[in-house]
Amino acid sequence: MCWIALAAALAFVAADVAAATTHRITIEGMRFNPASVTVERGDTIVWVNKDLVTHTATAAGLFDSHEIPPDASWTYVANTPGRHAYICTFHPTMKATLTVKRKP
């Protein structure tokens, strides 16, 4: 009986992990592309810097990539539901939005 409960719990966790999606945001031309992304809680977001200068992806109090040099990337797992505005701290006119939805 214990094995059945363990197998069911592992299947539930595996299904939740398998449902996670990876989203890519490209930093290029002094902007985030796409500028607005909607993801599910638990999804992974990867910012890839294709620009000639260093950038950040920073949402005050939520996440901060610190420096993302040219041809580098930074990864974040979205766990806080809501609409989160973020910027590049070096270039504050670079603005974008990450919306994290709760899983049903």
Asked if residues 104 and 40 have their Cβ atoms less than 8 Å apart, the reply is no
Structurally, at CATH architecture level, domain 21-101 sits in: Sandwich (2.60)
Q: Which of 79, 74, 81, 98 is nearest to 20 (CA)?
A: 79
Instruction: Give the model's confidence band at 16: pLDDT under 50 very low, under 70 low, under 90 confident, else very high.
Output: low
* pLDDT exceeds cutoff 70 at 4: no
- Could you tell me the pTM of the whole model? 0.82
- Cβ atoms of 33 and 88 within 8 Å: the answer is no
| For range 85-99, the mean pLDDT | 99
Domain spans in the chain, listed from the N-terminal domain onward: 21-101
Alpha helices in the chain (DSSP H): 2-18
CA 19 distance to own-chain centroid: 15
End-to-end CA distance of the chain: 29
